[in-house]
Structure 1
Amino acid sequence: MSAPRLSALIVARNEETRLPDCLASVAFADEVVVVLDRSTDESAAIAAVAGATIVEGSWELEGERRNAGLTACTGDWILEVDADERVNPALAAAIRTTIAISTHAWHQVPVDNYVGDRLIRFGWAGSFGTTSVPRLSRRGAKHWRAQRVHPGLDWTGQEGPKITEGALVHLVDRDISDMLRRLDKYSSAKAADLLASGNIGTLRANVRRFFSRGFKSYVSRKGYREGGWGVLLALCTGAFPLLSYLKAALEPDRYR
């Protein structure tokens, strides 16, 4: 029996600076597919030089964009990687070992999150960051929901053991200002999703979420071990749902 084929899927928009290193880190895959959403820079040329299959288009919803990439992949297994992420060698080897023996439909992959040059291991929680992502799946097992930010997932088949070797290196933010810009961007997209759903929630519920999610980040996820960075993560984690609600409630015309 031949070894399972692996497709690496990269979804990007105007990522000419970070795309080369990302592509180099997935060169171990049998196929690389790059989905470019409304890109106007040199991303397409960079992907072509790397031998990737390129899918270009325009998608308003993140879920639809990612599903277009899943459809374009032809491997038995698909590894999804964002342009600001890199697969380190230990994870690459673990993925090859996993797909060779797995009887499951999908697996969680460990993540190392960096802000600038600093590795922040603790405090990631909720929709603002995570230390594990379900990025390795059999073709046809995964479907993203039609949402703008952090879309939900529908699965066919059972989850397998989490991969524990290596990590997906996530260059999540360049600095504190970049982190705050991400909070603003994500909460704007989430406000649009809330309005589209017809149920934006209540102020009381989202104030509770501000404190419960901040507590989860700082205490349950041990953000206190990161000093001031843990405080910052807790604030952003708690603020995300509250800020999303406030944008939808106070400025709905901006996000419809």
Structure 2
Amino acid sequence: MPRSTLSVAIITLNEEANLARTLASVHFADEVVVVDSGSTDRTSEIAKSFGAKVFTEPWKGFAKQKNSAIEKCVGTWVLSLDADEELTVELQREIGQMLEVDPQALPQIDGYRLRLRHVFLGRWMRHGGYYPDFKLRLFRRMTSSGAVCFTDRPVHESVQIAGGVETMKNDFLHHGYPDLNIYLEHMNRYSSLGGQIVAAKGKVSRSWVAFCWNVALVPILTFVWNFGFRLGFLDGREGLLLHLYHSAYISWKYAKAWQIGSHAGDT
């Protein structure tokens, strides 16, 4: 019985602290494609030591960079991972079992959602809406509708698939925020990108009421909902910090959208 092949697509920039863990968790893949955007550390060396195909390209944005990695893959299935993510042993086995099934037996399935487990300051965030966080990351490279790719947007890019999608039972982990400095730097950068998206939609809080609602009240209500009603407090101090700073991210995003709109009005 024929076995489906698996390609893993990863984009990197100075990920020597994370990449070996990620690559070790996909040891069963038929190929690993790494598109690096100019790392100055040992990222490329680590990738090559695991047998990955490494390409160096200028940064084009999250979606375009990931799509470039996907375009270089040749497997029947593509698993798109970030360099700070890791498959659990259980998910490795589950994906391996799927690959052993005759490809003709699953013609209606073009993708799988995976259950993302966020690890914040070393603690698994089990509550507050953070788990399970379903991500469509495993998909056929080619479907009846053509090649699969990420939607082109500044941040929070996602895969769109016209065919059938199912959900796998096991988790993969996100180790993106081992300390607060990294988290706050990321939230500052992502809120700038998110502000651009909001401003492009015309939601720039021109009125005083809209400004207060988006910049102050929405973040407060989000914190109360997730930390209180969705039991985020059960994740301890780490949960408090995560929800508090996530609410700040929302405020920054709308404030930056307002700033973009204000500058546009001056021109």
Fold in common (TM above 0.5): yes
2:101 is equivalent to residue 106 of structure 1: no
Match of 2:227 among 218, 221, 243: 218
Q: 1:96 to 1:215 in 2, by over 3 A?
A: farther
Name which of 108, 116, 125 aligns with 1:120.
Answer: 125
Q: 1:209 aligns with which of 218, 221, 225?
A: 218
Deviation of the 1:172 alpha carbon: 2.3
Cα distance in structure 2, aligned partners of 1:124 and 1:176: 20
1:155 alignment counterpart: 161
Give the secondary structure class of the aligned counterpart of 1:143: coil
How far residue 220 of structure 1 moved from its aligned partner, in angstroms, is 5.1
In the alignment, is the contact (CA less than 8 A) between 1:60 and 1:148 conserved in 2?
no
SS at match of 1:55: strand
TM-score, reference length from structure 2:
0.82
Pairwise CA RMSD = 2.4
- The count of residues paired between Structure 1 and Structure 2 equals 247
CA distance in 2, matches of 1:77, 1:216: 38
Instruction: Please state if 1:138 is matched with 2:140.
Output: yes
Label 1:208 to 1:201 Cα distance change in 2 as closer, same or farther (>3 A): farther
Counterpart pick for 1:183 among 172, 178, 187: 187
CA distance in 2, matches of 1:176, 1:134: 27
2:2–2:100 Cα contact (<8 Å) kept: no
8 Å Cα contact 2:137/2:159 also seen in 1: no
Once the two structures are TM-superposed, the CA of residue 8 in structure 1 deviates from its matched residue by: 1.2
1:75-121 CA-to-partner distances (Å, cap 9, x unmatched) read 11111111111112111001122344444111111222222332222
Please give the alpha-carbon distance, in whole angstroms, between the structure 1 residues aligned to 2:157 and 2:132.
14
Aligned to 2:240: 231
The aligned residue for residue 50 of structure 1 is: 50
Identity of aligned residues (%): 27
SS in 2 for 1:227: helix
Cα separation, partners in 2 of 1:40 and 1:71, compared to 1, 3 Å:
same
- Asked if 1 retains the 8 angstrom alpha-carbon contact of 2:204 and 2:258, the reply is no
Q: 1: CA distance between counterparts of 2:169 and 2:217?
A: 34
> Normalized against structure 1, the TM-score is what?
0.85
Q: Is the 8 A contact 2:204 2:260 kept in 1?
A: no
Q: 1:5 to 1:152 in 2, by over 3 A?
A: closer
